[in-house]
Amino acid sequence: MNLIMFDIDGTLTASDVMDGECFVQAVQDVFGFADVSSDWSLYRHCSDSGVLDELFQTRLGRSPLPEEIAEVQAHFVNLMEVSIAAQPLKAIPGAKELLEVLLAESHVAISLASGAWECSARLKLRSAGLDFPQIPGAFADDAHAREDFMQASFQRVAQRHGREEFDSRVYIGDGVWDVRASRNLGFGFIGIGREPARVQRLRDEGASVIFPDFTQKDAFQAALVEARGQART
């Protein structure tokens, strides 16, 4: 059985810009943090929990308390709900069809590993018409570091399928942090990116296969086979 693990923002949903804007607004509204960059590559960990912790450490010299995390999460989700009500999110073209095909394949397991908090991740998936609650996942609630919540996602999907290991592991993402984490964990990698600058950053980080979306079905399936050969188990 082969594992395919997906990022969410910018990979399955066209939500990375909205997500960043709402996050920056939320931490400013709740904590008064001004001049927060939404360039996630500037932070040690590209995750909601990791960025929030870094902001607290650099500005207040401590980590956020559980009640502070809950407060900003609630406001963050509220801001996203307002934004989505005005302009619903869209799935990356072909994403829904691909997930449906993969879910029907007996030799494939799929999971999610996202740097978003789960409350916001599930909201974005629902808004984009990608509400598949049967797909296990791990999120920023589980860890700051992408490698750590990817490993948590691996453990959950392995448990779901009664396995300790898979024949291959492939991660699909849109950020340079996705490439790095995949390399560190021995996953094959497929990049998703449409803008030339994003595509170039992925290539510079070592991604060799990048698609603008999931509509090139045959080519994407061929890339999955190739990426499986790159994975280390």
Mean pLDDT for the chain overall: 95
Give me the residue spans of the domains in the chain. 2-15+90-230, 16-86
**What would the pLDDT profile of 51-105 be if each residue is shown by its tens digit?**
999 999 999 999 999 999 999 999 999 999 999 999 999 999 999 999 999 999 9
- pLDDT for res 40: 85
Tokens 């990022």 identify what position?
7
Higher pLDDT, 149 or 17: 149
Examine the pLDDT at 230 and tell me if it is beyond 80: no
Q: What is the pLDDT of residues 139-192, one digit of tens each?
A: 999 999 999 999 999 999 999 999 999 999 999 999 999 999 999 999 999 999
Once rounded to an integer, what is the mean pLDDT over residues 34-40?
91
Mean pLDDT of 186-214: 95
| pLDDT tens, residue by residue, 118-133 | 999 999 999 999 999 9
CB count within 10 Å of CB 196 equals 8
Tell whether the model's pLDDT for residue 232 goes beyond 80.
Answer: no
Question: For position 73, what pLDDT does the model report?
Answer: 97
Task: Indicate the CATH number of 2-15+90-230 among 3.40.50.970, 3.40.640.10, 3.90.1150.10, 3.40.50.1000.
Answer: 3.40.50.1000
**What's the pLDDT band for 233 if we cut at 50, 70, 90?**
low
pLDDT of residue 57: 97
Q: How distant is the alpha carbon of residue 231 from its chain centre?
A: 19
Q: Please determine, for residue 231, whether its predicted confidence score (pLDDT) is greater than 80.
A: no
pLDDT at 222: 92
